[in-house]
Chain A
Amino acid sequence: MLKSRHLLGLDGMEKSEIQLLLDTARSFREILNRPIKRVPTLQGKTVVNLFYEPSTRTRISFELAEKRMSADIVNFSASTSSVKKGETLIDTVKNIEAMKIDMVVIRHSSPGAAHLLSQVLDANIINAGDGGHEHPTQALLDMMTIREKFGRLDGLTIGIIGDVAHSRVAMSNIFGLITMGARVLICGPSTLIPREIERLGVEVYHNIDEVIPQVDVLNILRLQLERQESGLFPSLREYHNYFGITTERLEKAEKPILIMHPGPMNRGLEISSHVADSEHSVILEQVTNGIALRMAVLYLLGGGKSEIH
């Protein structure tokens, strides 16, 4: 059973809770292959998708998961709302809650935004990414995909490559994987690796060719081009030469390595097209698993009597 009514992050979540989320998600996978891809479980529940940052895949994935569970949906994006008129986050959500909603999925550029909402609202809050802090559903779907391929997480070695400093995906993956007993190696230019990240239990490398022979899985992060104005590395071409995952690099490993990427990909930059489309790439399976995983989250959080009066 989950300890919290909200899913804010994987930091502090127990192994049994992550296990329950992954097991439940595995059961939901099959629904996506049915002729009628919808179960009635969340009938009568209303979910608000509150997106303060642009997002295509996460928003669509949540929306599909909600529809497959028969919830009623309200979509809100900051660019077309009263946020432009200067309304604060709390005022906005208090107003939305007054319209009798049950769950809020929030994506926001400020770390802790989801946590803040959980303190002022009665609804269940699901963090869909808060600044550079956490993106729990992405990490859970990554772990679900790895477990599907290897049958386990403990004892595996997972490499997280690239822009760890700007990556909430990396943070949530680190918390979750360490809790589940995996070994986590992170690798990138030192300007893109947060200081003292070793304290979370990961090993830090700056040479990708030392990482590849050790890992079962490579989770390749997107280089966040929109956040690179400040010159954290000399050029995109140099980044590709030192850290880009290519077939030539992977050939140095003795065993095939599972290739993952949270998307959207910069082909030819952090990952070569050949690697992205290779037989060991599970990038599209991650997307499919994402819907099942988010359905599982909605199911586990959304039950019971509504506490909104």
Chain B
Amino acid sequence: MTDRIKAQILNKQDMGRIITRLSHEILEKNRGIENLVLIGLRTRGAYLAERIQRKIKEIEDAEVPTGFLDVTLYRDDFRTRLKQPAVEVTNIPFDVDGENIVLIDDVLYTGRTIRAALDALMDFGRPARIDLAILVDRGHRELPIKADFIGKNIPTSIGEEVRVKMSEIDDEDAVNLVEVIDN
């Protein structure tokens, strides 16, 4: 399988500006940080959550509780996949009861990952509200799910993929539109 990069959608500076804007929007809607918690979806949503947490600290001079969620065990394709994806550690070291959760992920596509995340969060308690913040919305939803905070809308076709790279685990900060070519 070979992939071809069709276009770079966001560079490092673009990503930085989007994270700043998303942080302000989250603070605006929640009118500050009271009862606000961030939960990032492993893998790259967790790094995004950490970056938003740092940005909010710069703005408000306060630390928002931040947790990380791996939704692998809640996915709906366990019976159809042959290879099991690695399960990463979930770490939500605070009570979510009555909190306003902002769920954070890199790409919103079919909505199935978010469905799994909502189910998982309900096992941790009863939050007052859950919002969804997303770096890139590429469309093609298969479930009735929408994002509350959107970094960038990118119309895509099914044969394309949106690859988010973050310097925490990749060699750079960038979002690329990739064409997947099956041989």
Identify the A interface with B (CB < 8 A). Answer: 1, 20, 23-24, 26-28, 30-31, 34-36, 38-42, 44, 296, 299-300, 302-306
Contact = CB atoms under 8 A, between A and B. Distances in A.
B123 A299 contact: no
A30 B124 CA distance: 12
Contacts of B119: 40
Given A26-B89, A35-B123, 14 more contacts: A27-B86, A27-B87, A30-B89, A30-B91, A31-B73, A35-B124, A36-B122, A40-B73, A44-B79, A299-B73, A300-B84, A304-B79, A304-B80, A305-B80
A31 B37 CA distance: 20
B125 interface: yes
A27 B79 contact: no
Given A30-B89, A35-B124, A35-B125, A299 B70 contact: no
B86 A23 contact: yes
Interface residues of B, number: 22
A20 to B, nearest CB: 8
A30 B68 CA distance: 12
Nearest to A304: B82
Contacts of A299: 73, 84, 87
Contact of B83 (A1, A30, A40, A296): A1
A59 B122 CA distance: 30
Contacts of A31: 73, 90
Contact of B123 (A26, A36, A300): A36
A168 to B, nearest CB: 27
B89 A305 contact: no
Nearest to B125: A35
Given A24-B87, A35-B125, A40 B79 contact: no
